[in-house]
Amino acid sequence: MSATSPLYGTTRDGLIAALVGDQAFAMVTNEAGSYLVKAWGLGRPIEDWTIADFHDRRTDPVDEAGFQRTVEEWATHVAQLAELNRRTVSARTSTPWGQSQHAVLYAAGIVAHSTASHGGFALSPDRNRLVASSLRAGDGFYEEDCAWVAVAAAYPDLFTDFEKRHADDILRNVYPQAWEAIHGQVLQPGESSAKDRSRFDRDNADRWVVVSAIQSRQHPGFVECIAMLGGRRSTGGRAPADEQRRYLVDEAIYDIGAFGFVIDEARDRPYAGPSSFVGWTEA
């Protein structure tokens, strides 16, 4: 068996588990369902592992088929990494995130830097010119949380399938216009969180959207809400009284949803009485 082939087994406490290189996986099942957990560098046989060994409890919902897909995808990722010509290089250079402490050369003109606090890619001017204009950073630096996907989109041959899938997810959810331009498709509702957010903000620009909520002590069974037009929060302290309103919403129907609870003025009750919010005083 190769170093990247998954090894499956069962832990001492009965969890389905797998090992790929130094990466350990297990599937935990409880009353809430089944979810994936991970750990790194467990130096014992699978049958000696227990749930206490897994500190990376991601709580990603998963079934047995999904668990196996995750493990197999990681095994492919590790194998593809071994085939890529990445290597650590000496790069005592300054980045937007601080002094580089570790640098990995992906290809000429493409270096990934790590610093004490953050990291990302640095591209040479020639390499940077080939990044899509909608994603291109003028200075050639792309931070590691989201902006790095511009590098993966421009140079897919330098990334594994796992990394490209992760990059595509970020692109779709954070930079939907760029995703649509690259794929030649229009993202539909529910396919991009950023696009859905923009649609929500546009559709509710003139409606009262809850920005703070608390169980009402004065009115059991109701949620006391502070709402602002379009959900636009004040940036300079408490907003003027005419820019915010309080409502009582039946707790049976209150659901914050993905982007906020929208007040139904025909149903939800305007409220100006004693507040459950600490420090609230009438204007």
Mean pLDDT of 180-203: 95
Mean pLDDT of 221-234: 88
Instruction: Please report the pLDDT score of residue 283 as a whole number.
Output: 45
> Distance between CA 270 and CA 138 in Å, rounded?
49
Residues pairing with 177 in the sheet: none
Check whether 85 has a pLDDT greater than 90.
no
Q: Binning pLDDT at 50, 70 and 90, where does residue 238 land?
A: low
Instruction: Please report the pLDDT score of residue 277 as a whole number.
Output: 85
Least confident of 180-184, 225-229, 234-238, 271-275: 234-238
| 277: CB partners within 8 A, 6+ apart | 212, 214, 224, 226
Instruction: Please report the pLDDT score of residue 276 as a whole number.
Output: 82
Radius of gyration of the chain (CA): 25
| 84: CB partners within 8 A, 6+ apart | 106, 158, 160
Q: Binning pLDDT at 50, 70 and 90, where does residue 231 land?
A: confident
Q: What does the mean pLDDT of the chain come to?
A: 91
Q: Which residue has the tokens 């792309």?
A: 142
> Distance between CA 148 and CA 139 in Å, rounded?
13
pLDDT 10s digits, 16-27? 999 999 999 999
Dihedrals φ, ψ of 74, to 5°? -65, -40
**One-letter identity of residue 267:** R
Mean pLDDT of 242-246: 83
CB burial of residue 153 (10 Å; 0-12, 13-18, 19+): buried
Check whether 232 has a pLDDT greater than 90.
no
> Distance between CA 217 and CA 127 in Å, rounded?
60
- Chain-centroid distance of CA 136 in Å reads 21
Instruction: Please report the pLDDT score of residue 4 as a whole number.
Output: 74
Mean pLDDT of 96-117: 95
